[in-house]
Structure 1
Amino acid sequence: MSHAVSIQVQLVRRPSGWPVPEDFRTTEVTYGDLAPGQVRVANAFVSVDPYMRGRMNDVKSYAPPYALGETMTGGAVGRVVETTVEDLPVGTVVLHQHGWRDVAQEDAGTFRAVAEVAGAPLSLHLGILGMTGLTGYVGLTAIARIQPGDTVFVSGAAGAVGTAAGQIARLLGASRVVGSAGSAEKVALLTKRYGYDAALNYRDAPVREQLPALVPGGVDVFFDNVGGDHLEAALDAMNPGGRIALCGAIAGYNSTERTPGPDNLSNAITRGLTLQGFTLGGYGHLAPEFAEHMTGWFADGRIAYDETVVDGIENAVDALLGMMRGENTGKMVVAIGS
């Protein structure tokens, strides 16, 4: 057994609008010898996700807000380097929620062993093979009840969840998949790499003006990561009986004023639409089903993925701000060590 120094990033001030580096601090925490039942893990990657911005606010939500002066929690993957339990021997790859730190030392029950996948970096357990992919799967199946032949529109399509949702929609039988992104390069990526039939750049013109030409037969399923103008555009384009899975609303995450609602919500009444928000907390029972599908798709070479990797735990805040500005393609992760 030995002591270890852990570099950790903590929230010290609640942001007003866009977070700034001064809202955080990087500090060192020294761990003593392991207590019985504990393990020590050297993280390989930590996750950076949109939901983290919401947890910085002291408001009631599906998860408690981050406590000031405490280390930012969230997904991470690493290897056990010291252990007191037989079930997690040294070298085991584990997932956990202890977040933004290079070394984690906690009770073994807070870590979950995962298998290494041939040809895949460990970071994929935070992305397409993990929570990100599961989010896309749950939204399309349990929430939007996708059917073969559906036309699917995905907002924020070049992000981590969007790239997963578009591919999963196609694999589950969608006849047409359309997405939105924030640059010409990302639009091209969606159609050339991720199997989208068409995509729009929301910076070129209002989404409401661009979307109809891409979905001449209307939209059956809308997977929304953005909200705001994207939700309005989708409500105009939805077919009768259409289903909307509300996964995120990143357009308003950093707003200091109340975000206005769509002006066409009455379409939900006249067209018999279903709008349902969701988080993964209530759908863990679908993880084995998702894993079976995704493992097969991945092994067959039917899944593409991109990652935006920022090096160094001390740069986690920069990674968060870059993701909020849309600078990432696919999953944003922070790599630690080698």
Structure 2
Amino acid sequence: MTAVSTATWNTPLADDTKVYVAGHRGLVGSAVTRRLHGAGVTEVVGRSSSELDLRNREAVFDFFAAEKPDVVVLAAAKVGGIGANHANPVGFLSDNLRIQTNVLDAALEQRVQRLLFLGSSCIYPKFAEQPITESALLTGALEPTNDAYAIAKIAGIVAVQSVRRQHGLPWISAMPANLYGPGDNFDPDSSHLLPALIRRYSSAVEAGKPRVVNWGSGTPRRELLHVDDLAAAVLFLLENYNGDTHINVGTGIDHTIEEIARTVADAVGFTGETDWDTLRPDGTPRKVLNVSRLAELGWQATIPLSNGVLDTVEWYQQSKADPLHVETHRLRR
């Protein structure tokens, strides 16, 4: 059976649609869960990693057989910043391949009619033409500091396309820009760019330090997407997109890392100096997505970087003052 290949889709989620959000306690999954509830979808199913290890194939198949979801959002992944990816490529490749394969295979066995796989903009070549179009996939070498994670995500895209081609199910994939927002991971060893900067500058303010040292030169350019914007895009795509090709999700606007750092410094009230450790890796020199396909469908991001950073800083400070704030945020916001 051949899948429908049109990019249009007009199937709003009914209130009683059962949606399984894999990774519902993470940055993306919790935002998607809140968005679905806000849209009136009452049956949103999730399991924590302690309740369901998605690397355990038998457990995943048993879960799908018992729950029989109508829709799946695959937001679960082993994620980390440039340091974590560089230090542990085996873990990022193995864990993500197992998570994706188990969830996709179990969803296929149950003939789940609608599935959205979330990848990452790191799937694209290091020196892809900017802004990056969906067609840039597999046209060049990957950024070596996170190639293992990227390969796993590329495998997920191909798996979704294969299900469409072989089984005719209208599954789709979306590739978001670098994500941030309330609920992010602020661990010093595994956080991504923005939460790492927020933690670093906030700590400097608390300790009264006059200087902050950041990795790299500060010249690479990055596009940042607030996780609440991504959650809105996920719901929009579930209801409006049915293309064979993965689709980019982002703002289409990039900033230098130095500009992003300055925005964070202003948000936390840091008035000292910033130094750049150029012996540390810069990563990809520029990464901004071409989001014209999504815009043509009728969706665009709405949260400016300055507002999003302030929002995230406020959440981070509240979570430090009240650890219960983290759990409350996952459930409602």
Is TM-score (shorter-chain normalized) higher than 0.5? no
Q: Which has the higher contact order (CA 8 A, sep 6+)?
A: 2
Which TM-score applies when normalising by structure 1? 0.32
Which TM-score applies when normalising by structure 2? 0.32
Q: Which has the higher helix share?
A: 2
Structure number with bigger Rg:
1
